[in-house]
Amino acid sequence: MIEPLLVDRVAVVTGGGGGIGAATARLFAEHGAHVVIAEIDEQLARRTAEEITGSGGSAFAVVTDVRDGNQVAQLARSVLDRYGRVDVLVNNVGHWVRHPGGFASTDPELWDELYRVNLHHVFLVTRAFLPAMLDRRAGAIVNVSSVEGLRGYPEDPVYAAFKAAVIHFTRSLAVQVGHDGVRVNAIGPDVTESLQVPYSQWLTADEQAQWPQWVPVGRMGLPEDQASVILFLASDLSAFVTGHTIPTDGGTGAAGGWFRSSRRSDREWTNRPAAP
């Protein structure tokens, strides 16, 4: 049995009502944290908080649109009034919004949408909670970026740019506040079931059967896979880790575009654009 890693720590998880955020909130509570679920969807927020408290954990929900500076300020006041501190912040919110088509025909209003939901809120929420961490000279911030911030993403260069910005913000802020006892890290998920990317609904049975060819670990990622790495980065197990983004991608980044071939008898691997 692993010893609890976040006993009595106050952890704020944005987008904590579903998907990766909910899995993180539940895992944090299992490890003894007081979890604050900041979520725009009231029903999801209440349900996840009730699941945690019903299992004996500590959680409460704050309905918040993290794109709104006033609501973020109110969230921070609620947390600090209730607990007097914050130990962990997980900036989990993000969304690709919709497929934009070619960049040349995209609408600048979509760029603004993507900015607010993928990058601007990271600035807003971090600025709201960082001073309390600096005052106590202790804290851990974990940002959720994407594999698309680590590689070229031809379907949506604007989304990719904001996800890459999250990674560089993580790196740069970590250097700035490291001497003040605050660590800042990130994860870069890929091929993981989430609210925005429900692979189990999108893929046919035949497509799902190809996971062993497409992902080195041989399966689709689950929200719990991401939550486990977030827990590591939030806990003292990573006390000497800051400024880094861990690619939580099942090995797709390491594979570098190479896939197992089920159709070629002469070679096990292929990087050809045809189906493997």
Catalytic residue ranges = 159
Taking the C-alpha atoms of residue 252 and residue 245, their distance in angstroms, rounded to an integer, is 15
Cβ atoms < 10 Å from Cβ of 203: 14
How distant, in Å, are the alpha carbons of 4, 210, 273, 275 from that of 205?
38, 9, 21, 16
Taking the C-alpha atoms of residue 251 and residue 246, their distance in angstroms, rounded to an integer, is 11
Taking the C-alpha atoms of residue 159 and residue 196, their distance in angstroms, rounded to an integer, is 14
Taking the C-alpha atoms of residue 270 and residue 137, their distance in angstroms, rounded to an integer, is 50
- How do strand 10-14 and strand 88-91 relate by DSSP bridges? parallel
Which residue bears the tokens 């870069």?
188
Taking the C-alpha atoms of residue 223 and residue 227, their distance in angstroms, rounded to an integer, is 6
Spell 112-143 as b/e; 16+ CB within 10 A means b.
ebbbbbbbbbbbbbbebbbebbeeeebbbbbb
